[in-house]
Amino acid sequence: MGDIIVARDLFKRFEDLTAVDRINFHVRKGEVFGFLGPNGAGKTTTMKMIQCISPKSSGTLQVFGLDTDTHPREIKNRLGVVPQETNLDPDFSAYRNLLVYARYFGIEKQEAERRAEELLTFMQLEEKRDVLIEKLSGGMKRRLIIARALINAPELLILDEPTIGLDPQARHLIWEKLRSLQAQGNTLVLTTHYLDEAERLCDRLVIMDHGKILVEGPPADLIREHAGGEVVEVERTEKVVARLNDLGVDYDPAGDQLQIFTDRPHDVARDLLEVCRHEAAVTVRPATLEDVFLRLTGRTLRE
Ligand SMILES: Nc1ncnc2c1ncn2[C@@H]1O[C@H](COP(=O)(O)OP(=O)(O)OP(=O)(O)O)[C@@H](O)[C@H]1O
Instruction: Return the best residue to mutate from 14, 51, 82 for the ligand 1 pocket (most ligand atoms within 8 A of CB).
Output: 14
Q: Ligand 1: distance of its center to the CA of 239 in Å?
A: 42
Largest CA distance in the chain: 75
User: Is the confidence at residue 302, as pLDDT, over 70?
Assistant: no
Residue 44 Cβ inside 6 Å of ligand 1? The answer reads yes
Answer yes or no: is the C-beta of 16 below 6 A from any ligand 1 atom.
no
pLDDT in tens, 124-162: 999 999 999 999 999 999 999 999 999 999 999 999 999
* Cβ of 190 less than 6 Å from ligand 1: no
How far is it, in rounded angstroms, from Cα 219 to Cα 158? Answer: 19
Ligand 1 nearest atom to the CA of residue 15, by list position? 4
Whole-number pLDDT of residue 1: 54
ipTM above 0.90 for this complex:
yes
The Cα 45–Cα 41 span in angstroms is 9
Cβ neighbors of 268 (< 8 A, separation 6 or more) are 232, 247, 249, 260, 262
CA angle 165, 169, 141 (to 5 degrees): 55
State mean pLDDT over 268-296: 89
Using a 6 Å cutoff on CB, does residue 19 contact ligand 1?
yes
Q: Which residue has the CA at smallest separation from atom 1 of ligand 1?
A: 14
**Interval 164-221: pLDDT, tens:** 988 899 999 999 999 999 999 899 999 998 888 999 999 999 999 999 999 999 999 9
Over residues 60-87, the mean pLDDT reads 95
Q: Is 54 in the pocket of ligand 1 (CB under 6 A)?
A: no
**β-bridge pairing 204-209 and 32-36:** parallel
From residue 183, alpha-carbon distances to 5, 218, 264 in Å are 20, 18, 38
Q: Select from 263, 248, 254, 262 the least CA-distant residue to 236.
A: 254
Look at residue 275 and give its three-state secondary structure.
helix
pLDDT digits 0-9 by tens, 32-44: 999 999 889 999 9
Distance separating alpha carbons of residues 192 and 75, to the nearest angstrom: 23
pLDDT at 92: 94
pTM for the whole structure: 0.90
For 214-249, the pLDDT digits (tens) are 999 999 999 999 888 899 999 998 889 999 999 999
